[in-house]
């Protein structure tokens, strides 16, 4: 079964053809990073307008060499994300489905991220699923493609969001994740004074055993820098301090879930799954006989291949939409807010 996937939930315009939920035949991604850099973050209105400009050329490139009769269904993200951006891609998918008489498959953006490692690995259920990106930090107990339970989420900032805000404090620019990750490799915590250290964030007590909190980490770095002589030589040290604390919480909460549910499989997805420090720490988990699955770097960030793949799984489950299918900006079951 050949599915056309469309992804426009934030600032990437992407189209992909995936066969039987596994074989990627094309995957075209246009990133708007250069457009949003000067604003130190994604501007929703600019993002949606640029999706309008790029959606047709991206679709044409992804479909090059294929005929419409070869395509069995159209899958597109209908949430969560930037509502204006989602509308562009999902409206395009509706138009294609109507004009070409193809089934329309609405795909949840988070479910698509969780599916990305399945494109490249045979993964048994159940497993613990960690989704980490600029907009989401979520921990799931996954029983099957149709049954998964959210164990925890961020109480405030998502981990990728904290990377961007900390990069701004350090004067690094946007996007913060790759910039901090690169600089942290040159860092040395022994060069920092003892008072720069940051205590354990969100201890594993009660309902917060699986939850995350990153607003405090970003704020702690900002306050410490007020009495710290920041310069080009020690910026990598501060970047390393932030990164170690940020990644430590992801791993600690994931370990809690693995231990509590006696599961030996962890699936990590989302843009932050491309972080080199996180990947190194995940290799350490493998030494403890825990199976760890991630997607290749280019399939961690938003892309349409994961949408088409998840669309195939949803089609098998009978989850098919129609022209009345709506889009949404948030997950209704995620309650974010400072304590």
pTM of the model: 0.95
Q: Is residue 26 part of a domain?
A: yes
Tell me the per-residue pLDDT of 236-283, one tens digit each, with 9 for 90 and over: 999 999 999 999 999 999 999 999 999 999 999 999 999 999 999 999
* Average pLDDT of the residues in 57-79: 97
Pairwise CA distance, residues 221 & 71, whole Å: 50
Q: Is residue 257 part of a domain?
A: yes
* Average pLDDT of the residues in 121-141: 96
Tell me the per-residue pLDDT of 14-24, one tens digit each, with 9 for 90 and over: 999 999 999 99
* Average pLDDT of the residues in 197-224: 92
Residues 62, 181 within the same domain: no
Q: Is residue 335 part of a domain?
A: no
Q: Is residue 334 part of a domain?
A: no
CATH code of the domain containing 163: 3.30.420.40
Residues 257, 164 within the same domain: yes
Q: Is residue 330 part of a domain?
A: no
Residues 68, 154 within the same domain: no
Residues 149, 238 within the same domain: yes
Residues 103, 168 within the same domain: no
Residues 132, 280 within the same domain: yes
Residues 204, 303 within the same domain: no
Q: Is residue 286 part of a domain?
A: yes
Q: Is residue 21 part of a domain?
A: yes
Residues 68, 133 within the same domain: no
Q: How many domains does the chain have?
A: 2
Residues 206, 219 within the same domain: yes
Q: Do the Cβ atoms of 208 and 150 come closer than 8 Å? A: no
Residues 127, 238 within the same domain: yes
Q: Which residue range forms the structural domain that includes residue 230?
A: 123-294
Tell me the per-residue pLDDT of 132-168, one tens digit each, with 9 for 90 and over: 998 899 999 999 999 999 999 999 999 999 999 999 9
Pairwise CA distance, residues 130 & 12, whole Å: 22
């Amino acid at each position: 079964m050949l599915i056309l996937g469309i992804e426009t939930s934030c600032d990437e315009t992407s189209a992909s053809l995936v066969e039987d939920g596994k074989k990627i035949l094309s995957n075209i991604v246009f990133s708007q990073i250069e457009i949003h850099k000067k604003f130190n973050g994604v501007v929703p209105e600019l993002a949606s307008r640029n999706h309008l400009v790029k959606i047709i050329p991206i679709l044409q490139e992804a479909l090059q060499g294929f005929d419409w009769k070869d395509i069995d269904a159209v899958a597109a993200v209908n949430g969560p994300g930037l509502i204006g951006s989602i509308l562009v891609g999902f409206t395009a998918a509706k138009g294609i489905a109507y004009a070409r008489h193809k089934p329309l498959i609405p795909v949840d953006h988070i479910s698509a991220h969780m599916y990305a490692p399945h494109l490249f690995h045979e993964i048994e259920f159940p497993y613990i699923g960690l989704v980490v990106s600029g907009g989401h930090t979520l921990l799931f107990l996954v029983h099957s493609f149709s049954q998964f339970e959210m164990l925890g989420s961020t109480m405030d900032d998502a981990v990728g969001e904290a990377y961007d805000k900390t990069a701004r404090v350090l004067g690094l620019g946007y996007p913060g994740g790759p910039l901090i990750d690169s600089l942290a490799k040159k860092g040395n915590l022994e060069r920092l004074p003892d008072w720069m250290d940051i205590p354990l964030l969100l201890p594993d007590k009660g309902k917060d055993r699986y939850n995350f909190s990153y607003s405090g980490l970003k704020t702690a770095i900002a306050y410490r820098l007020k009495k710290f002589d920041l310069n080009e030589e020690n910026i990598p040290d501060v970047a390393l301090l932030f990164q170690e604390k940020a990644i430590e919480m992801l791993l600690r909460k994931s370990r809690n879930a693995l231990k509590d549910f006696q599961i030996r499989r962890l699936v990590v997805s989302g843009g932050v799954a491309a972080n080199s420090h996180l990947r190194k720490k995940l290799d350490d988990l493998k030494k403890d006989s825990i199976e760890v699955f991630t997607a290749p770097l280019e399939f961690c960030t938003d892309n349409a291949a994961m949408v088409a793949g998840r669309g195939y799984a949803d089609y098998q489950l009978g989850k098919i939409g129609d022209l009345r299918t709506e889009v949404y900006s948030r997950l209704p079951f995620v309650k974010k807010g400072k304590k």
